[in-house]
Amino acid sequence: MSGKYKAAIFDLDGVLVDTAKYHFLAWKELAESLNFEFTQKDNELLKGVSRMESLNILLHLGGLAFSDEEKEKIAREKNERYVEYISKIDESDLLPGTVALLEELQYREIKTAIGSASKNTPLIIERLGIKKYFGAISDGNIIKRAKPDPEVFIKAASMLSVLPGDCVVFEDARAGIQAAKNAGMYAVGVGKKEDLPGADEWIASLGELNTDKLF
């Protein structure tokens, strides 16, 4: 069937751009400064999770506890490290197939939005030069409830003036797939089926998408 969906909503980190490695480096440096080791495998637990929730998971792994005030300070430090990394990214950090898909959707007049937990979304899309492809940006700066709550995607649909049922979400995190399904949207998992239960279909990267089937 073609022409079924009217809009595409993209998660940012891990779907459009490979920022997970920079989040990892920043969290690892922070863990080292607190005298414990943080591994790539640990980093998987933080994908799609908000900054504060990520810090809670990290501190739990390190067996440490801090006051809310101290945690705010540590999260700020981590973000400063992360921002230093992403201030240097460019188009080469985009994941395979991203620009071709965004160009195609624009040509076909399919509405597009970003639905990301990241408060750094404006900086990232500016650095990548992809702002022009999106009709709406729903991100960590405007939402109150983290994925798997559907708020970030519901807001994106409303900003695009489309119904949730008319949207396809592209997500690389388990909580993001749940958020999309909680929003009543079609969910494409960008990653492995075993890592992303509950999605409606799975692709390894955006370059693999069969757009005729969805739009």
Residues 44-63, one symbol each (x = binds Mg ion by CB under 5 A, - = not), give ----x---------------
- Nearest residue (CB) to Mg ion, 62 versus 140: 140
Active site residue 13: yes
Of 34 and 95, which has the nearer Cβ to ligand B16?
Answer: 95
List contacts with ligand B16 (CB under 6 A): 11-14, 23, 46-51, 54, 79, 116-120, 140, 173
Q: Which stretch binds Mg ion (CB under 5 A): 123-131, 157-165, 169-177, 196-204?
A: 169-177
Task: Based on the residue annotation, tell me whether 93 is a catalytic residue of this protein.
Answer: no
Minimum distance from residue 108 beta carbon to ligand B16 (Å): 24
- What is the closest distance, in whole angstroms, from the C-beta atom of residue 77 to ligand B16 in the complex? 12
Of 105 and 173, the one with the shorter C-beta distance to ligand B16 is: 173
In the bound state with Mg ion, the residue whose beta carbon lies nearer, of 3 and 198, is 198
CA distance 5 to 111: 10
Q: How far is CA 12 from CA 68, 123, 138, in A?
A: 28, 12, 10
- Positions touching Mg ion (CB under 5 A) are 11, 13-14, 48, 172-173
